Amino acid sequence: MTVVTRFAPSPTGRLHVGNLRTALHNWLWAKKHGGRCLLRLDDTDLARSTVEFADAIQTDLAWFGTAPDGMVRQSERFDLYERRFEELRAAGHVYPAYETQDELDLKRKVLAGRGLPPIYDRAALRLSDEERAALEAKGIAPHWRFKLDHTAPIAWYDLVRGHQKIDPALQSDPVIRRADGSWLYMLPSVIDDIDMGVTHVVRGEDHVTNTGLQLQMFAALGATAPAFAHEALLVGSEGKLSKRLGSLGADAFREEGIEPLALAALLARIGTSDPVEPVTGLDTLSETLDFARFGRAPARFDLEELKALNAKMIHLLPYAAVADRLPSAIDAAAWPVIAPNLTRIDQASDWVAVLAGEIDAPAVNEEDGAYLATAARVAAEIDWSAEPWAALTNRLKQETGRKGKGLFLPLRQALTGHDHGPDMASLLPLIGQARVVARLERAAA
């Protein structure tokens, strides 16, 4: 069996971090099994779906490293839905219903008043042919419901949640098609999952009840249902999918300098008992993805945790992996010296001036000025072929009696313009003797 997963967003908005997580898990699961991950654009809502959002979804998935192996748009598949709907109708699995929204609301209120759950009473099933004809003669077009089979409980083994059971008698027959002929999400999704050969549906636990109902649709359409993995939702550190998290997507991560692989490393693991740790590729994450390790509690997403992981992963990146994103002054020798100071790769350009340009060193007092003048002289005298920083600071220690901060900080400031930064012993050879001497002379003056 070839594993086929699908990520099925509606192109009615940008992907947020929760969607990216679902996309990732589908992609990783397919790769883990040498299978395929498809993108299905759930764009049956023609009024709200846009080409711009559809394009943005594909751009964001490509940025994330989870580009799909194929794509379908539901809006191009209405003929298929019509055919399969006809089959269901002919077999009595769907039925027309004529209640208006107001009538349905009223029914629900009456039930609530009696302390009963808001389950549709199937009044439409009891209409005679004449009554139906009379309603249609009045110009009332029906919407369509799927007739649930009440004879046995719906049960499945969920890859995250384990054994699941739903009593169909406690569910309303789901509306699958509106009076204007447009489709609701439920049935097209099942028809597509069958047609696309989907073997695993990975989605949020907000779909658990839908799955129960959809399992009956798979059966009614004569298909074997895929396996399901329903994940606990993603929440912010404050405990819910906040508005902020809901708008946190690929653009925002890019702006924050977050590497897509760092985001993946976090999103593959939060909600599991496995540690969040740096990885060098998505393959590590797919090999270790196991739905049984996901808990039922919401997964907590913390932007600060992501930033810390991002920095850690940047520090581990080999030069070859980042060379095309670095200014030319940051070469193979400079990268490992600079990298430990970065929390995002574009900060590398902050160090170009230190290595190869002009810096602004802070003004110094007379005493430090004299010290730096001595340093300039020593820097010109020492042997630069071995360890010039050790040679320089050892000589200065002897000559001036300075130690600790008084010895090192004026040098760092004069040579880099910063109080903190890369290891000076590694940095000094990169700046080079001529520039070091010139900077110390200038700072001394």
Tokens of 215: 């399992």
Cβ of residue 182: shortest distance to ligand GLU, in angstroms?
15
Nearer to ligand GLU, 9 or 422 (CB): 9
CB nearer to ligand GLU: give 7 or 95: 7
Separation CA 339–CA 423 (nearest Å): 11
Q: What are phi and psi of 318, to 5 degrees?
A: -70, 155
Residue 322-361 contact track with ligand GLU, rule CB under 6 A, x = bound:
----------------------------------------
**Nearer CB in complex with ligand GLU: 26/286:** 26
Residue 185 CB, nearest approach to ligand GLU (Å):
6
Closest C-alpha to 230, from 140, 180, 163: 163
Q: State the nearest-atom distance from the C-beta of 422 to ligand GLU, in Å.
A: 46
Piece of 6-14, 61-69, 161-169, 231-239 that binds ligand GLU (CB under 6 A): 6-14
Contact criterion met (CB below 8 Å) for 18 and 242: no
Instruction: Map tokens 């808001």 to a residue.
Output: 118
Cβ–Cβ under 8 Å, residues 426 and 359: no
Task: Tell me the residue type at 84.
Answer: R
Q: Are 311 and 289 in contact (CB under 8 A)?
A: no
Contact 412, 404 (CB under 8 A): no
Question: Look-up: residue for tokens 């998290």?
Answer: 245
- Are 1 and 17 within 8 A, CB to CB? no
According to CB under 6 A, which one of 3, 4, 10, 15 is a site residue for ligand GLU?
10
Size of the site for ligand GLU (CB under 6 A): 8
SS3 (DSSP) at 324: helix
Return the residues of window 37-76 that contact ligand GLU according to CB under 6 A. 42
Binding mask 157-186 for ligand GLU (x = CB under 6 A): ----------------------------x-
**Closest CA relative to residue 154, chosen from 142, 143, 163:** 163
Candidate residues 164, 171, 189, 341; the one interacting with ligand GLU per rule CB under 6 A: 189
Judged by CB under 6 A, the stretch of 4-12, 232-240, 308-316, 428-436 that binds ligand GLU is: 4-12
Q: Does 203 bind ligand GLU (CB under 6 A)?
A: yes
Of the pair 206, 367, the CB lying nearest ligand GLU is at 206
Q: Considering only 8-16, 126-134, 331-339, 384-392, which stretch makes contact with ligand GLU by CB under 6 A?
A: 8-16
Least separation in angstroms between residue 150's CB and ligand GLU is 24
Task: Give the whole-angstrom CA distance, residue 445 versus residue 443.
Answer: 6
Of 8, 270, 306, 337, which lies in the binding site for ligand GLU, with binding defined by CB under 6 A? 8
The site map against ligand GLU for 367-406 (x = CB under 6 A) is ----------------------------------------
> Two tokens at 73?
């748009």
Q: Should residue 199 be labelled a site residue for ligand GLU when binding is judged by CB under 6 A?
A: no
Instruction: Compare residues 192 and 368 and give the one whose CB is closer to ligand GLU.
Output: 192
Least Å distance, CB 184 to ligand GLU, is 11
Shortest distance (Å) from residue 26 CB to ligand GLU: 9
What the block records as the tokens of 116 is: 């009963």
Segment interacting with ligand GLU, rule: CB under 6 A, options 5-13, 114-122, 146-154, 329-337: 5-13
Task: Report the site for ligand GLU in 406-445 (rule: CB under 6 A).
Answer: none
Whichever of 9 and 174 has its CB closer to ligand GLU, that residue is 9
Q: How far apart are CA 77 and CA 103, in angstroms?
A: 32
| Total number of residues shown for the chain | 445
Amino acid at 154: I
H or E segment to which residue 53 belongs: helix 51-64
Q: Strand runs (DSSP E) across 129-280, as ranges?
A: 143-146, 154-158, 162-166, 175-177, 200-204, 227-231, 234-236
Nearer to ligand GLU, 39 or 306 (CB): 39
> Could you tell me which of 67, 45, 76, 88 has the C-alpha nearest to residue 190?
88
Q: Quick one: which of 258, 179, 335 has its CA closest to 17?
A: 258
In whole angstroms, give the CA distance from residue 402 to residue 396: 7
67 vs 233 by CB, closer to ligand GLU: 233
138 is in an annotated binding site: no
Pairing of strands 162-166, 154-158: antiparallel
Binding-site entries for ATP: 243
| Site residues, ligand GLU (CB under 6 A) | 8-10, 42, 185, 189, 203, 207
Binding-site entries: 243
